[in-house]
Amino acid sequence: MFKASTQKGLAQQGLAQKGLAQKSSAQKTLVDKKNGAWLEKKNISQTLVTVIAVIICFISLFCALSFGAADISFADVWHSVWPNDTDKDVGFIQRIIWELRMPRAILALLAGSGLAISGLILQTVTRNPLADPYLFGISSGASLGVVILIAFTGGIFTVMTPVAAFAGSLVAMLMLMLIAGRRQSQQVESMLLAGVALSFLFSSFTSLLLYHTDPQAVTAVLFWTMGSFSRAQWHNLLFPTVVISACIIFMLAYRRQLNAMLLGDESATTLGIKVNRFRIIMLLLSSLITATLVSMCGGIGFVGLMIPHIVRFFISQGTVFGILLTALVGGIFMIWVDILSRTILVNQELPVGVITAATGSLFFLTLLYFRKNRPS
């Protein structure tokens, strides 16, 4: 009785959502049709963007094979990659391309995608837009692990390198989580602060160790810590390829859960997600990618932070396309960074990390500037 009169009264007053219910039912069919079409169109355009990104990725790879210390024309690259009998002898060029540039370009692609994905994971599960393997101290931890290995075994790079890197990154991650604590509300802020502090701590240990190591090793290690793809060879590409593809597949499978993490731990819990376990698995995954890449090509900053943001400017990160595009854009970016690092100075190679930091920060600041001045 009382309930009925309540509803009747509200309806009479016209307060019932100001016709929200009626509007929705009357327009439902129309909206359904319109939205359905829109959704299809959106899917097509997203597919198109992804296809274009894949094409750009191939073009970039092709350019990476052509540019370098020895100038090789596009035609020669084409003939080396798809040789046929009538061609003139391209043996020397072919060797440069197949044995030097190709693995290097593929490693750059892997590193870019891996770091971008790693950054995306960190930013999502910690809900911190500034999260990045570099800023969280994970890269520094991995570097320290490698440098400790080098300092104590004397060997430069061995099979144990990725293991040492992963151990280092795990220690960094563990310390990060211990310091940041389990208090959900404070985690986001304290994690970044702790990460930056840890990053400096590990870097100082690395410097200290390097100070006491054989000077010859130091030069190699120093160049490596600033990032370089010069160690790329076919036989050591398999491991990062497997790790990064597996992580991307894992992320695609759990994309909905990742999105739910963005709305907060409580909301995610109410959707049936075991938040703490999920976060730890994702952080481990991120450490694994970072460690693999650090052991291969040293610390490369800014990519993990920047690429997810750049992609996010244009496309919702929550979809399959968002994740794939993040990986692709990261890869493309890194291929071009590698091209720059090989060509910017004559007969010399710049550390990749220097270029990513410079271009990355400039691009990021520009984007932020325009975003800030854009009428919202």
Contact window for other proteins (CB under 8 A) among 72-80, 98-106, 311-319, 347-355: 311-319
29 or 216: whose CB is closer to other proteins?
29
Q: In this chain, which of 153, 267, 276, 366 binds other proteins, going by CB under 8 A?
A: 267
153 or 270: whose CB is closer to other proteins?
270
Q: How far apart are CA 49 and CA 59, in angstroms?
A: 15
- By CB under 8 A, residue 124 contacts other proteins: yes
Count residues near other proteins (CB under 8 A): 56
Q: Which residue has the tokens 């490596």?
A: 224
- By CB under 8 A, residue 326 contacts other proteins: no
Residue 70 corresponds to which tokens in the numbers above?
């020895």
Q: How far apart are CA 363 and CA 113, in angstroms?
A: 18
We find the least distance from the C-beta atom of residue 161 to other proteins, in angstroms, to be 33
- By CB under 8 A, residue 281 contacts other proteins: no
131 or 164: whose CB is closer to other proteins?
131
- By CB under 8 A, residue 372 contacts other proteins: no
Q: How many CB atoms lie within 10 A of CB 221?
A: 23
Q: In this chain, which of 113, 230, 257, 292 binds other proteins, going by CB under 8 A?
A: 257
Q: In this chain, which of 50, 241, 319, 359 binds other proteins, going by CB under 8 A?
A: 319
- By CB under 8 A, residue 260 contacts other proteins: yes
CA 110 to chain CA centroid, Å, is 10
- By CB under 8 A, residue 371 contacts other proteins: no
Contact window for other proteins (CB under 8 A) among 4-12, 98-106, 290-298, 346-354: 4-12
- By CB under 8 A, residue 259 contacts other proteins: yes
Give the list of residues 6+ apart from residue 232 with CB closer than 8 angstroms, or none.
103, 104, 106, 107, 108, 296, 297
Q: In this chain, which of 46, 187, 317, 326 binds other proteins, going by CB under 8 A?
A: 317
Q: How far apart are CA 78 and CA 248, in angstroms?
A: 30
Q: In this chain, which of 159, 272, 346, 375 binds other proteins, going by CB under 8 A?
A: 272
String of contacts with other proteins for each residue 136-155, x by CB under 8 A: --------------------
Q: With the CA atoms of 73, 79, 80 and 82 taken in that order, what torsion angle do they form, in degrees rounded to the nearest 10?
A: 140
Interacting positions 71-90 with other proteins (CB under 8 A): none
Buried b (16+ CB within 10 A) or exposed e, 329-359: bbbbbbbbbbbbbbeeeeeebbbbbbbbbeb
Contact window for other proteins (CB under 8 A) among 18-26, 74-82, 170-178, 198-206: 18-26
Cβ-defined contacts of 306-311 (< 8 Å, 24+): 306/119, 306/360, 306/363, 306/364, 307/112, 307/115, 307/116, 307/119, 307/120, 307/333, 308/116, 308/119, 308/120, 308/123, 309/129, 309/364, 309/367, 310/363, 310/367, 311/116
CA 27 to chain CA centroid, Å, is 42
By CB under 8 A, name the binding residues for other proteins. 2-3, 5-7, 9-10, 12-13, 15-18, 20-21, 23-24, 27-28, 31-32, 34-36, 38-39, 42, 123-124, 127, 129, 253-254, 256-257, 259-260, 262-264, 266-267, 269-274, 312-313, 315-319, 376
